[in-house]
Structure 1
Amino acid sequence: MSDEAETEIELQTLPLDAWHRARGGRMVPFAGYHMPVQYEGIMAEHLWVRESAGLFDVSHMGQLLLSGPDLDVELEKLIPADVKGVKLHGQKYSLLLADNGGILDDLMFTRWEDGIYMVVNGAVKYDDIAHLRDHLPDEITLNHMDDQALLALQGPKAADALGRLVPGVAELVFMTGGRFDWNGVPLWISRSGYTGEDGFEISVPGDKAEALADALCAQPEVKPIGLGARDSLRLEADLPLYGHDLDPETTPLMAALGFAVASKRRREEANFPGAERVLLEREQGPVVKRVGLLVEGRQPVREGAAVLDAEGSEVGKVTSGGFAPTLGVPIAMAYVPAAMAEVGTKIQLNQRGKVHEATVTAMPFVPHRYVRGSK
């Protein structure tokens, strides 16, 4: 049996696998699952989310519930966030760090009444679970909520569409969540997402996910959207993807995620993994930085293309790249030496022997449209 055939057999299916296929979803391997890359086409789906509302199946992500004594204290030994400062139903972005300050994963966590709810990346969720279990005391319980599906409704009309089904969700603001009931089905909904648009992430029992997806797509604003548009949307929004733009060799400051170590208390305590290196880089600046690039011409420059210095030597790498449907031009993220990271710097990229001209630009490429407020 070929490796390809074995891989095909080993891929897992999402609760909505048949639902995607019935709606014309083109399925591809991603993070160990069969997942829909597109339905109508990436460009059309991308623009639909920017103008209306798109439904994404992100059930491959790991949903975890942590509980137990001194949970905040113990979790702060693994991530740089101010966990203690997160209020009930408040949500925060953070990073699971290695001892050298490298990024093992990026994640979102929320304070629930009964613990900390955490969403981690699908490709490394089992590694994350093992890391958390190895480093947290035995008194801390970790529940992998693998019977839950996770749907993301994203776009400027998401609140209108979801509000008809679940009254009260419009009262949420960016990075807050709450428990809701839909026809007797318990939902956890947060006003968050990974597209740069307003929207919601909805944790729903896996056996109820199809009924909820049907109800959402019955709304005139909503269409199912695939991984392709999710990738182009997050790229325009300056949202790095773990395993591509982030990895264990990359620190928060290198990744332009300094806001993840913004807590004065956490910096003073300096008791998170890799604190010495991370705080030194925060003070002096990292040697390399993640930057945004506008690429000249029409041809996208993809992950793996080399960043060249004035002598033509490779000094960095493109980690994400593609055509930006909202802007009508190719864009990319790359790691470059700090001296080349200033906005306006001209950079050359080598993709399979062809040299492309690019310019370092401010990110996000497309402004975020989150609904913020004090909650």
Structure 2
Amino acid sequence: MLRIVNKRLYSGHAALKHTALHDLHVELGGDMVPFAGYSMPVVYKGQSHIESHRWTRAHAGLFDVSHMLQSKLTGEGATTFLHKVTPTDFKELPIGVGKLSVLLTEQGGIVDDTMITKQGNNDFYIVTNAACAERDSQFLEDELKSHPEAKWAPIKGRSLLALQGPEASQVLQPLLAAEQNLKDLYFGDRRSYKLYNGVIIDVARSGYTGEDGFEISLADKDAVDFARSLLDNETAKPIGLASRDSLRLEAGLCLYGHELDESTTPVEAALSWVVSKSRRNVTQEDQKFNGYDKIIDQITNKTHKELRVGFQYQLKGPAARTGAKIFLPDKKTEVGRVTSGSASPSLDNINVGQGYVLKPHNKKGTELLAQVRNKFFPITVVKMPFVPSHYYKG
């Protein structure tokens, strides 16, 4: 199932890094594979990929995402710096709230998608993708050369766990110390909590599955005991990379290196909403974000030629994987390419996918053809997400 082992993610078996939970994964029967330079579980013994996927949709799944890059940005110029490298308004963002955004090149291409939380004025917590860690670090360090008043640094010695699913809060809540409650922690919020044993955890109500859930950062030394405590609840099961990929696909979410790259703008990626409205009418050059003129032109004048879309098979057949071509019904005119695709466990294994399609063939309901193994399979452009999202917004 896991189809994301390209050169950027698959780094071979030599010198793989281990997260603090590595030995626990092995103990639990994790099938360990190389991923973004780490040894990570793709699935666990005793549960298939589909079973793991459906369990997360119905109950609670625990993912180790410690391979992702956690970092911090501080200093008097931190907000100004973010307004240079992202198109999102972090000045008006309330403290304790995080937003999904993108890091942009000077040409408006996407270096990475990122979750950025405002911890205080000019104090930000940032999470970026594991496969992009080296590129992200170099990009931020290069951009900071012209913003010496801001300081960026990776966060060391902390694990990151994602507890996802409709029963996630029922699993985490009993482990909190008395008089602490998750009910007023809404989607996008992040704050610190104390566990029953005195350990402090930083909890964000977020995730990448489309379900309610949490991303929890805590010291490496406490990670294994905490994970065991979560899994002591029969509602929670450990879930691997295969299900993480299919869950995010069903949720209509992007995977860097597939839907996003440095040749793609947020507008083309159907992420115009990360470009805050307050940042679209800038007149001063020093207040413009990277790629401002190109991106605003695409938003205002619709000058982009293609757009990210979701599609669904009309009939059974092999899934259209990354790189498959998309044609008009005449089977001659190529109008797009597939970036991700697989059978959807939540939709009785109907094949779904994402891709880029030339305008005007990107509209909902448009019938096209996906070419797989030199055969053509009818697909329909559909609205994403493929399954309803259940973010906890109070």
Q: Which category describes the TM-score, using the shorter chain as reference length?
A: over 0.9
Matched, 1:85 2:92: yes
Residue 11 of structure 2 contacts residue 35 of structure 2 at CA under 8 Å; is this kept in 1?
no
Of 239, 243, 247, the match for 2:253: 239
Which residue identity is paired with 2:115?
M
Q: Secondary structure at the match of 2:12?
A: helix
Provide the rounded CA distance (Å) in 2 between the counterparts of 1:219 and 1:305: 42
Provide the rounded CA distance (Å) in 1 between the counterparts of 2:188 and 2:18: 29
> 1:6: how far off?
8.4
Which residue identity is paired with 1:325?
P
Provide the rounded CA distance (Å) in 2 between the counterparts of 1:276 and 1:181: 46
Residue 11 of structure 2 contacts residue 36 of structure 2 at CA under 8 Å; is this kept in 1?
no
Unaligned runs of 5+ in 1: none
1:303 corresponding residue in structure 2: 322
> 1:138: how far off?
2.6
Provide the rounded CA distance (Å) in 2 between the counterparts of 1:163 and 1:244: 36
Residue 293 of structure 1 contacts residue 358 of structure 1 at CA under 8 Å; is this kept in 2?
yes
Cα gap change, 1:304 to 1:86, in 2 (>3 Å): same
Describe the superposition over 1:231-268 as per-residue Cα deviations: whole angstroms up to 9, x where unpaired: 1111010111111110001111111101111x222111
Matched, 1:117 2:122: no
Percent of paired sites with the same residue = 41
Of 218, 226, 235, the match for 1:204: 218
Describe the superposition over 1:173-225 as per-residue Cα deviations: whole angstroms up to 9, x where unpaired: 00001011222222110000000000000001112111110000001210000
Of 349, 352, 356, the match for 2:373: 352
Of 155, 162, 170, the match for 1:152: 162
1:33 corresponding residue in structure 2: 38
Matched, 1:324 2:334: no
Of 270, 284, 297, the match for 1:280: 297
Q: What CA RMSD, in Å, does the superposition of the two structures yield over aligned residues?
A: 1.6
Of 57, 60, 69, the match for 2:76: 69
> 1:298: how far off?
4.3
Provide the rounded CA distance (Å) in 2 between the counterparts of 1:298 and 1:255: 27
Provide the rounded CA distance (Å) in 2 between the counterparts of 1:102 and 1:224: 35
TM-score by length of 2: 0.91
Provide the rounded CA distance (Å) in 2 between the counterparts of 1:200 and 1:206: 18
Cα gap change, 1:91 to 1:199, in 2 (>3 Å): same
2:14 corresponding residue in structure 1: 9
Residue 318 of structure 2 contacts residue 372 of structure 2 at CA under 8 Å; is this kept in 1?
no
Matched, 1:271 2:283: no
Which residue identity is paired with 2:207?
G
Q: Secondary structure at the match of 1:95?
A: strand
Cα gap change, 1:6 to 1:170, in 2 (>3 Å): closer
Describe the superposition over 1:263-304 as per-residue Cα deviations: whole angstroms up to 9, x where unpaired: 222111260011111111112322101110001214322111
> 1:339: how far off?
1.2
TM-score by length of 1: 0.95
Q: How many residues align?
A: 369
Deviates more, 1:191-200 or 1:8-17: 8-17
Q: Secondary structure at the match of 1:134?
A: helix
2:184 corresponding residue in structure 1: 171
Provide the rounded CA distance (Å) in 1 between the counterparts of 2:143 and 2:156: 21
Describe the superposition over 1:307-361 as per-residue Cα deviations: whole angstroms up to 9, x where unpaired: 1233524332100000101111110001010111011111111122121110000
Of 332, 336, 339, the match for 1:312: 332
1:140 corresponding residue in structure 2: 150
Residue 77 of structure 2 contacts residue 149 of structure 2 at CA under 8 Å; is this kept in 1?
no
1:362 corresponding residue in structure 2: 383
Q: Secondary structure at the match of 2:256?
A: coil
The equivalences for 1:223-238 within 5 A come to 223-238=237-252
Residue 163 of structure 1 contacts residue 170 of structure 1 at CA under 8 Å; is this kept in 2?
no
Residue 62 of structure 1 contacts residue 146 of structure 1 at CA under 8 Å; is this kept in 2?
no
Moved over 4 A (4+): none
Q: Secondary structure at the match of 1:116?
A: strand
Deviates more, 1:309-318 or 1:229-238: 309-318
Provide the rounded CA distance (Å) in 2 between the counterparts of 1:268 and 1:234: 33
